[in-house]
Amino acid sequence: MSIDVGPVGLPTWAWERADVRQALRERDIGAVFRYVQRYSGASQGRIATAVGMAQGRVNEIINGRREVSRLDVYERIADGLSMPGDARHLLGLAASRAQHVGGPAFDLAAFPEVVRVYAAQRSAAEEIQQMAREAAELDVLAVRGLGLIGLNDSLLRSCLPRQPGSEGKRVRVLLLDPDSTALVQRAAEIGESTESLAGGVKLAESRLRELASVCDIKVYRYKTLPTWRVIRVDSTMFVSVFDSGWEGHESAMYKVVETPHGPLFRGFRRTFEVIIEGAERTV
């Protein structure tokens, strides 16, 4: 009896379903595997063989006991499940080499700046905090920043005070101008009142002003519609995106490291500097 060890085939219509596309967008591989089982009839063992994993690992992912975060694993899963190009893009991957003619120039291995992909900020929180505590410089590009840096229990708040005998961090924070038309648009996108969103920005500013005695902090207001959400800790960035109806902490998060010739880290850092040049300093 022959054993099928090739990629798992999923009907085209299945990849186009809203529930499957949402799972891909959220990088929820457990849900993706469950949909593959439902729409292709493949067993856990069959999926495991196709994506190059042990069946026990597939079972842990399906049942939420393990997450996928490594870029090479996402690639292996996409190849093993024969994902079409648009499904790969939702997962944050380039089209497979079989789907373009660019050859090795499009191989993700040629872009070593992206070293990990997290399903959302919560998956990267511990690593971000550890790096932020040890960093000399911290840059933050956010909308209101309350859950990121403004409140006592926010992700970065406890990482800011200087350690005994140290000079303290240099911290720069970009927040959306509460009086800008961009804030009105962003509030509408996420279904929140303009007053609530603007009040959150002002609260974050007042809370960040309290940190002036424990670190070198500068806070700015920018006026453009927010697109990228950036946390830079020295030579590493954690990048996510603001989209319509989609908060930055809900987005997949890319860990980008500085390399001699890579364009991503340099590009995001340049974007940050350009925004600061046109921003108003408030703290």
- Judged by average pLDDT, the poorest of 54-58, 219-223, 239-243, 262-266 is 262-266
- Confidence label for 96 from pLDDT (cuts 50, 70 and 90): low
pLDDT higher than 70, residue 222: yes
b or e along 144-174 (b: 16 or more beta carbons within 10 Å of the residue's beta carbon)?
bbbbbbbeeebbbbebbeeeeeeebbebbbb
Of 134, 130, 138, the closest CA to residue 166 belongs to 134
CA 127, 128, 134, 137 dihedral sign is positive
Given a contact cutoff of 8 angstroms between Cβ atoms, the answer to whether 8 and 40 are in contact is yes
C-alpha 197/C-alpha 235 separation (Å) is 31
Q: Which helix (H) or strand (E) holds 36?
A: helix 29-40
pLDDT higher than 60, residue 98: no
- Rounded to 5°, angle at Cα 94 from 92 and 100: 160
Tokens representing residue 164 in the block: 């005994």
pLDDT of residue 91: 85
pLDDT higher than 90, residue 36: yes
CA 271, 272, 277, 278 dihedral sign is positive
pLDDT in tens, 160-199: 876 655 567 899 999 999 999 999 999 999 999 999 999 9
pLDDT of residue 125: 93
Structure-token match 């960040």, residue found: 208
pLDDT of residue 22: 87
Which domains does the chain carry? 12-94+103-110 (1.10.260.40), 121-281 (3.30.870.10)
* Across 83-101, average pLDDT: 71
Q: Return all residues near 15 (Cβ < 8 A) that are at least 6 apart.
A: 21, 83, 84, 86, 87
Of 58, 19, 57, the closest CA to residue 35 belongs to 19
* Across 126-142, average pLDDT: 94
pLDDT in tens, 75-84: 999 999 989 8
pLDDT of residue 103: 45
The torsion region of residue 59 among left (phi > 0), alpha (psi -120 to 50) and beta comes to: alpha
pLDDT in tens, 12-29: 888 888 888 889 988 999
pLDDT of residue 5: 60
Given a contact cutoff of 8 angstroms between Cβ atoms, the answer to whether 274 and 257 are in contact is no
C-alpha 39/C-alpha 20 separation (Å) is 10
* Across 122-139, average pLDDT: 92
Q: Where are the beta strands (DSSP E) in 85-235?
A: 114-118, 137-141, 170-176, 216-222, 228-233
* Across 146-166, average pLDDT: 83
- Assign 218 to helix, strand or coil: strand
Is beta strand 280-281 parallel, antiparallel or unpaired with respect to 170-176?
unpaired
pLDDT of residue 170: 93
Is beta strand 137-141 parallel, antiparallel or unpaired with respect to 114-118?
unpaired
